[in-house]
Chains A and B, each alone.
Chain A
Amino acid sequence: MEASAPSPQQPQRSNWATLVAGPLRVAVALIVPVVTFLLLRWSFQFMRDADANKLLVAIVALVIGVGAVWLLYVASDALVSLLPDSIRESVRPFVFVGPALAILGVYLVYPLVLTIWLSFFDARSETFIGLDNYFSVFTSDDMLLALRNNVLWIVFVTSAVVGFGLVIAVMVDRIGRWEPFAKSTIFLPMAISAVGASVIWKFIYSFQPVQLPQIGLFNAIYTALGGDPQGWLIIKPWNNFFLMFIMVWILTGFAMVVLSAAIKGVPGELLEAARMDGASEVRIFFGIIIPSIRTTLITIATTVLIMVLKVFDIVFVMTSGQHETEVIANRMFREMFTFRNFGRSSALAVILLLAVVPVMIYNVRSFQESRK
Chain B
Amino acid sequence: MGVGIQSSRTTSSDRIRKWFSGAPVRIAVIVIALLWTLPTAGLLVSSLRPANDIKTTSWWSALAHPFEEAQWTLENYEQVLTSDGMGNAFLNSLIVTIPAVVIPITIAAFAAYAFAWLEFPGRSVLFVIVVGLMVVPLQMSLIPLLRLYTTIDLNGTFLGVWLAHTGFGLPLAIFLLFGYIATLPAEIIESAHVDGASALTTFTRLVLPLSVPVIASFAIFQFLWVWNDLLVALVFLGTRADVAVVTSRLSALVGERGEAWHVLTAGAFITMLVPLIVFFALQRYFVRGLTAGSVKG
Contact = CB atoms under 8 A, between A and B. Distances in A.
A73 B199 CA distance: 12
B186 A3 contact: yes
Nearest to B280: A184
B123 A1 contact: yes
Interface string A201-228: 1111010000011110100100000000
Interface stretch (B2-10, B65-73, B103-111, B209-217): B103-111
A204 B39 contact: yes
Q: Which of under 10, 10 to 19, 20 to 34, or 35 or more describes the interface residues of A? A: 35 or more
Given A312-B230, A363-B131, A191 B276 contact: yes
A364 B37 contact: no
Contacts of B227: 193
Interface in A1-46: 1, 3-8, 32, 37, 40-41, 44
A349 interface: yes
A7 B7 CA distance: 65
Interface string A155-194: 0000000000000100110111010011011111111111
B76 interface: no
Given A182-B33, A349-B142, A193 B230 contact: yes
Given A93-B114, A185-B33, A190-B290, A206 B261 contact: yes
> Which interface residue of A190, A214, A312, A332 has the most chain B CB atoms within 10 A?
A190
> Which interface residue of A200, A213, A310, A368 has the most chain B CB atoms within 10 A?
A200
Contact of B99 (A7, A8, A32, A65): A65
The secondary-structure label for the interface of chain A is helix
B81 interface: no
Contact of A118 (B57, B61, B143, B148): B143
Contacts, number: 352
A6 B231 CA distance: 43
B25 A249 contact: no
A192 B56 CA distance: 27
Nearest to A358: B135
A359 interface: yes
Interface string B224-249: 10011111001100000000001100
Given A356-B137, A363-B131, A99 B107 contact: yes
Contacts of A316: 230, 251
Interface string A325-346: 0000100110010000010011
A332 B164 contact: no
A193 B272 CA distance: 7
A336 B32 CA distance: 41
Contacts of B272: 191-193, 196
B200 A215 contact: no
A203 B42 contact: yes
Contact of A352 (B139, B275, B276): B139
B51 interface: no
B231 A3 contact: no
B103 A65 contact: yes
A282 interface: no
B36 A186 contact: yes
A352 B136 CA distance: 9
Interface of A: 1, 3-8, 32, 37, 40-41, 44, 54-55, 57-58, 61-62, 65-66, 69-70, 73-74, 77, 81, 90, 92-97, 99-101, 103-104, 106-112, 114-115, 118, 168, 171-172, 174-176, 178, 181-182, 184-196, 198-204, 206, 212-215, 217, 220, 249, 252-254, 257-258, 303, 306-307, 309-310, 312-313, 316-317, 329, 332-333, 336, 342, 345-346, 348-350, 352-353, 356, 359-360, 363-364, 367-368
15 contacts: A3-B117, A8-B193, A32-B107, A62-B99, A65-B102, A66-B99, A77-B198, A90-B120, A112-B140, A118-B143, A171-B28, A196-B250, A203-B42, A254-B291, A313-B231
Given A55-B91, A249-B36, A359-B135, 8 more contacts: A65-B162, A96-B118, A178-B29, A182-B32, A196-B269, A312-B230, A342-B143, A353-B137
Q: Closest 6 A-B residue pairs measured CB to CB? A: A107-B167, A193-B228, A100-B111, A96-B114, A97-B114, A93-B120
